[in-house]
């Protein structure tokens, strides 16, 4: 954990709102949010719609016209806070909203790149972000823009001026809580999770009144903890000691650090939950529900409707936090209301999104060895020889048997979101091929201290590449095509009706691929690693593409041997906007 302290001293100086009056802005309505996947002149949600399929119906850009895509402007995030730009931008009424590392938010003229206003959170000393100083995006609703900060606060700003409307504590940053995800808006409520699983926090999902910031409900995801509804205790999650022995559930992890998706048809919120605490699985026998799981919740009261655990009794830090994307699947002549998720554990899961019933799981990375497969109920068939050993059974009691496990703890896929095209019926998954040496060590819970009980070294699976962008057919469970990248892939994916797939690389390229074949059809060098999620929108009759740029995130901090593949990449914090001029689009 020492590497974390290298950047914790770099904190914000003060809240700063600069700029000038903006023209009248239309409020972002609930209908705007629900229709975001269909509208083309704005991007008002994280994921281009509450289902987060990251598909745009725009088609002016295609494999033939994309050669005319050119930079329109680049906006610098400024100062020394360059690293770790993982934000997906939002666009509304000619204004682009993008968060920056170290808990900053900018409003920028979407046509010119001119800054309208800037907000810098005043970060205290001693913040404890696990995996760099990143922020993944904001939320828009009515006349406000919302985002979370590294010291575990939620902030509502006026869209026109950037002035603070309200600021609320999510939890105690001194206990290891933080916040990095983009919030979601559901039925007038702002829905968030928590970060901090490596510090023995207890994961939860909570809803606040978007106007006031007051809590409506809280739902802890670890069994034994009691929820809250309208300021009063509600129901317990599970039963005490059902799958957690003794007091282990009190510091059980399960951080909900990546945010959620929403299916308005079923009125269900879907959240993933992170690793159990500590990593040393010998200290917590049992399935450890609901860590490493996907949960469906009722947005009205926070009750869990169903749960599916991808890695029961996780011993490898295979967070189940990755996004669950609702989609309709055609299979055997029927339409299945499904959802898909590419898990850290290396399997691509398809579930019935109405009830959580397991439909399929397919390996999407090579050489998986922690499990021999997945049974008919969706439960892993463990290979006990590849679970890290109990240090209590070692000669010195200080280090358990080391094993080599694939994938590594950074996952077959990490936070960087997948995309789904209803045109091709394919998911596009930014995967990584790596494994790890991992061993267990003794550990006790202490507030604000790392709660791992493990050591590890990540190693690449292949000499030729680590990153692997894969197109997966969820119905046939086949990989249709693959693009191999020398360095790890850490950026999100966007797909369009123009038969294109966009993503970025640590080597500094924003790239576009043919969605059906995987052929690379365009690239542009932005000068620093791209670890953010691209967007596209229509403006003045032209199709635009935008992406934040700035190398950072977990790979250079935790990557071990694989970090060598990214040595020498320059840091930089900026947002790049590209457009296809009308004259070229019409050719």
Catalytic residues: 317
CA dihedral 166, 172, 178, 179 (to 10 degrees): -30
In the chain the first and final C-alpha atoms are separated, in Å, by 55
Q: Which residues, in sequence order, are bridge partners of residue 439?
A: 455
CA distance 164 to 149: 13
Q: How do 494-496 and 55-56 pair as beta strands?
A: parallel
DSSP-derived 3-state class of residue 539: strand
Token pair 């026109």 in the structure block, residue: 160
CA distance 139 to 506: 26
Please choose, from the candidates 547, 548, 554, 555, the residue with its C-alpha nearest in 3D space to the C-alpha of residue 572. Answer: 548
Residue 129: HSE in the Cβ half-sphere, 13 Å Cα cutoff = 30
State the CB neighbour count (10 A cutoff) for residue 230. 10
Q: Which residues, in sequence order, are bridge partners of residue 577?
A: 73, 546
CA distance 409 to 296: 25
Looking at 298-423, which runs of residues are DSSP E strands?
304-309, 325-331, 334-342, 347-352, 358-363, 371-374, 380-382, 403-405, 419-421
State the CB neighbour count (10 A cutoff) for residue 202. 23
Token pair 């229709």 in the structure block, residue: 35
Length of the chain: 587
The number of angstroms, rounded, from the C-alpha of 400 to the middle of its chain's C-alpha atoms is 32
Token pair 């200290």 in the structure block, residue: 283
Question: Would you say 22 and 16 are in contact if contact means Cβ atoms under 8 Å apart?
Answer: no
Q: Is 405 exposed, middle or buried (0-12, 13-18, 19+ CB in 10 A)?
A: buried
């Amino acid at each position: 954990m020492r590497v974390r302290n290298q950047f914790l001293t770099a904190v914000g100086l003060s809240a700063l709102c600069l700029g000038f009056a903006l023209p009248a802005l239309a409020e972002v309505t609930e209908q705007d949010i629900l229709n975001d996947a269909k509208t083309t002149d704005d991007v008002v949600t994280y994921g281009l719609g509450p289902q987060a399929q990251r598909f745009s119906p725009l088609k002016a850009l295609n494999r033939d016209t994309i050669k005319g895509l050119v930079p329109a402007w680049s906006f610098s995030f400024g100062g020394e806070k360059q690293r770790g730009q993982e934000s997906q931008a939002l666009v509304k009424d000619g204004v682009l909203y993008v968060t920056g590392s170290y808990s900053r938010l900018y409003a920028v003229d979407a046509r010119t790149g001119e800054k309208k206003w800037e907000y810098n959170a005043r970060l205290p000393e001693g913040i404890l972000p696990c995996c760099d100083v990143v922020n993944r995006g904001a939320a828009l609703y009515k006349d406000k823009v919302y985002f979370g900060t590294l010291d575990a606060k939620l902030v509502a700003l006026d869209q026109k001026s950037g002035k603070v409307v309200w600021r609320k504590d999510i939890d105690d940053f001194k206990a290891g809580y933080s916040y990095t995800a983009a919030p979601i808006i559901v039925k007038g409520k702002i829905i968030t999770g928590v970060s901090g699983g490596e510090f023995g926090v207890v994961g939860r999902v909570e809803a606040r009144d978007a106007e006031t910031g007051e809590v409506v409900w809280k739902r802890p995801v670890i069994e034994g903890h009691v929820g809250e509804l309208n300021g009063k205790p509600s129901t317990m999650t599970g039963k005490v000691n059902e799958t957690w022995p003794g007091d282990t559930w009190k510091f059980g992890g399960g951080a909900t650090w990546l945010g959620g998706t929403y299916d308005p048809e079923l009125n269900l919120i879907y959240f993933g939950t992170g690793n159990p605490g500590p990593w040393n699985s010998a200290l917590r026998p049992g399935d450890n529900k609901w860590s490493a799981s996907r949960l469906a919740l009722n947005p009205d009261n926070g009750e869990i409707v169903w749960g599916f655990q991808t890695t029961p009794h996780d011993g490898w830090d295979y967070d189940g936090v990755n996004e669950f994307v609702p989609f309709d699947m055609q299979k055997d002549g029927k339409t299945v209301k499904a959802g898909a998720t590419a898990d850290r554990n290396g399997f691509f899961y398809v579930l019935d999104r109405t009830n959580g019933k397991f439909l399929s799981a397919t390996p999407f990375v090579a050489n998986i060895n922690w499990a021999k497969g997945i049974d008919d109920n969706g439960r892993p068939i463990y290979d006990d020889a590849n679970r890290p050993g109990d240090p209590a059974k070692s000669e010195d009691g200080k280090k358990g048997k080391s094993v080599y496990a694939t994938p590594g703890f950074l996952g077959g896929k990490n936070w960087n979101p997948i995309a789904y095209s209803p045109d091709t019926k394919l998911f596009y998954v930014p995967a990584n091929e790596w494994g790890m040496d991992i061993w267990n060590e003794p550990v006790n819970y202490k507030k604000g201290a790392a709660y791992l009980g493990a050591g590890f070294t990540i190693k690449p699976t292949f000499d030729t590449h680590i990153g692997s962008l894969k197109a997966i057919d969820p119905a046939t469970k086949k990989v249709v095509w693959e693009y191999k990248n020398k360095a790890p892939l850490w950026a999100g994916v966007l797909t369009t009706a123009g038969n294109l797939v966009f993503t970025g690389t640590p080597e500094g390229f924003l790239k576009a691929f043919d969605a059906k074949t995987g052929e690379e059809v365009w690239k542009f060098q932005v000068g620093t690693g791209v670890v953010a999620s691209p967007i596209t929108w229509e403006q003045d009759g032209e199709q635009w593409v935008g992406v934040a740029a700035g190398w950072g995130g977990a790979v250079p901090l935790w990557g071990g041997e694989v970090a060598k593949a990214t040595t020498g990449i320059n840091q930089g914090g900026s947002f790049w906007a590209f457009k296809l001029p009308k004259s070229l689009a019409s050719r």
